[in-house]
Amino acid sequence: MWGPSCWSFSDVRVITRSASSAAHQKVCVVGGGPAGFYTAQHLLKACQDVQVDIYERLPVPFGLVRFGVAPDHPEVKNVISTFTQTAHHARCCYYGNVNVGTDVSVEELREAYHAVVLSYGAEGNRSMGVPGEDLEGVYPAKDFVGWYNGLPSNRELNPGLDCETAVILGQGNVALDVARILLSPIDELKKTDITQRSLDALAQSQVRRVLIVGRRGPLQIAGTIKELREMVNLPDTKPEMVASEFEGMAEALKVIPRPRKRLTELMLKTAVDPPAEKERQRRQAASRSWGLRFLRSPLEVLAGPDGARVAGIRLAVNRLEGTGDGSVAVPTGEVETMDCGLVITSIGYKSLPIDPAVPFDPRKAIVPNSLGRVQQAAGLYCSGWLKTGPVGVIATTMNNSFDTAHSVVEDLTSGCLDATSAKPGSTGIGPLLDKRGVKPVSFSDWEKINQEERRRGAAQGKPREKLLDVEEMLKTART
């Protein structure tokens, strides 16, 4: 029991490191977010002879788990422990601070690896495509979320919060997250990993009313019940709904599946039912309000007297054609104007092409693929939002990534990837990066950044205070 099975930690490291460089099948994953890590996890488990290298543009890993999940949803981030385990796997290596597309090309990766999996997600925004979209005070939700979550490229967003009413276009979970962060009591937010800068800005915020506007009706909202319930229960806020927008819902409830039914019931209860006495008093005392508005599409963002800053939004009034998920919003010709000083567009993220050598469908904004295999590109795969479009929670991405990994494993074992011929893997890419002056950040370097963030956070009673600047991350990594 206490014999040869008890290696010392450093012995084990040495032995498994040499085992990993002996792993014959080399796979590279581009993108260190949930898709990348789940794909790697599945590959490592399914193949005992595979080495998986994860390349990530930022020094820090975890993608939207770090920069997308709301600060007041820390449990969702528990998946990080699984990702950390994967990164520590003997046959896995993380290379942060490597920009695929500029520091190294996809072609170069395909030469060095048997298989390349693209999982770099969706860093662009869908735009409304209406006049006034470029006015001050109009922000894509992705940028607003990136701002309060410490994404370096959104550090200087400085959204103007000195107006009373904010309008959010879109009714998915991102829209609900933004509404909740705009209206949450500061005392709640200050215990989270929200950035100090945005916390200070929100503490000064004048925003008291948030309207969440959708093109279609209550039965089509893309948000889910947990997030809606959080709005209903948000301290010091009251719902401000238009009861007539919910006419006919009670009938529709009878024939829909349970998830949609419970969500609609909650909306109806909040919008239509007279509240119990305690709730009535709570609403009366509330200093902030939120509401859902339906059947409205943006036509134009209107400027105030200075001509530069948003003061309102003109909306087309729609009617629905068809029912359920497939129903379509059709303009009626009527228009309406809402006064507001802040507009946040939450109508979808969008993937961007990072390398001309990779097939890309500009209409759907995805890499065309079948079961994760990129079309007309043997040895090239995709997983996560780049594969299916920017929809779904972490579990969706997990399953999607497992499927792609399954395709890679099938191809590695069936012989169609010529996995028997030796490929250099990272020993081929390392010298290229070196020559180009690119210094990758290792996972243990990330752990130094992690430790520093947690140290700074502890001083403020927060789980972490994120570093906002890539240079600072690199400096910390090199200590």
Q: In the complex with another protein, which residue's Cβ is closer, 11 or 469?
A: 11
What is the chain's length?
479
Q: How are beta strands 50-55 and 92-95 bridged, if at all? A: parallel
CB of 78 to another protein, least distance (A): 4
CB of 3 to another protein, least distance (A): 9
**Residue 137 to residues 33, 373, 467, Cα–Cα distance (Å):** 30, 41, 26
Expressed in percent and rounded to 5, the helix, strand and coil fractions of the chain are: 40, 20, 40
Q: In the complex with another protein, which residue's Cβ is closer, 290 or 402?
A: 402
**Residue 120 to residues 79, 115, 133, 142, 354, Cα–Cα distance (Å):** 18, 15, 27, 15, 9
d(C-alpha 307, C-alpha 310), whole Å: 8
Q: In the complex with another protein, which residue's Cβ is closer, 15 or 395?
A: 395
Binding residues for FAD: 35, 56, 64, 100, 385, 392-394
Q: In the complex with another protein, which residue's Cβ is closer, 229 or 309?
A: 229
**Residue 366 to residues 65, 209, 283, 349, 374, Cα–Cα distance (Å):** 21, 36, 44, 11, 10
What is the residue-wise DSSP string for 267-295? Answer: HHHHHTSPPPHHHHHHHHH-SEEEEEE-S
* Largest separation between any pair of C-alpha atoms in the chain: 82
Of 389, 391, 394, 386, the residue nearest 354 (C-alpha): 386
Of 117, 88, 136, 170, the residue nearest 408 (C-alpha): 117
Q: In the complex with another protein, which residue's Cβ is closer, 138 or 228?
A: 228
CB of 65 to another protein, least distance (A): 11
d(C-alpha 93, C-alpha 27), whole Å: 11
Q: In the complex with another protein, which residue's Cβ is closer, 74 or 235?
A: 74
CB of 81 to another protein, least distance (A): 7
Residue 300 bridge partners (DSSP): 314
Q: In the complex with another protein, which residue's Cβ is closer, 226 or 478?
A: 226
CB of 244 to another protein, least distance (A): 27
d(C-alpha 437, C-alpha 425), whole Å: 19
Q: Which two tokens stand for residue 370?
A: 């079948």
CB of 256 to another protein, least distance (A): 12
CB of 79 to another protein, least distance (A): 5
d(C-alpha 220, C-alpha 242), whole Å: 17
Binding residues for NADP(+): 171-174, 215-216, 227, 392
Q: What residue spans of 104-172 are helical by DSSP H?
A: 106-112, 141-148
Q: In the complex with another protein, which residue's Cβ is closer, 71 or 137?
A: 71
Residues that bind another protein (CB under 8 A): 1-2, 5-7, 38, 42, 73, 75-76, 78-79, 81-82, 224-226, 229, 258-259, 262-263, 361, 364, 366, 368-371, 375, 387-389, 393-395, 398-400, 402-403, 406
CB of 416 to another protein, least distance (A): 17
User: From the centroid of its chain, how far is CA 58?
Assistant: 15
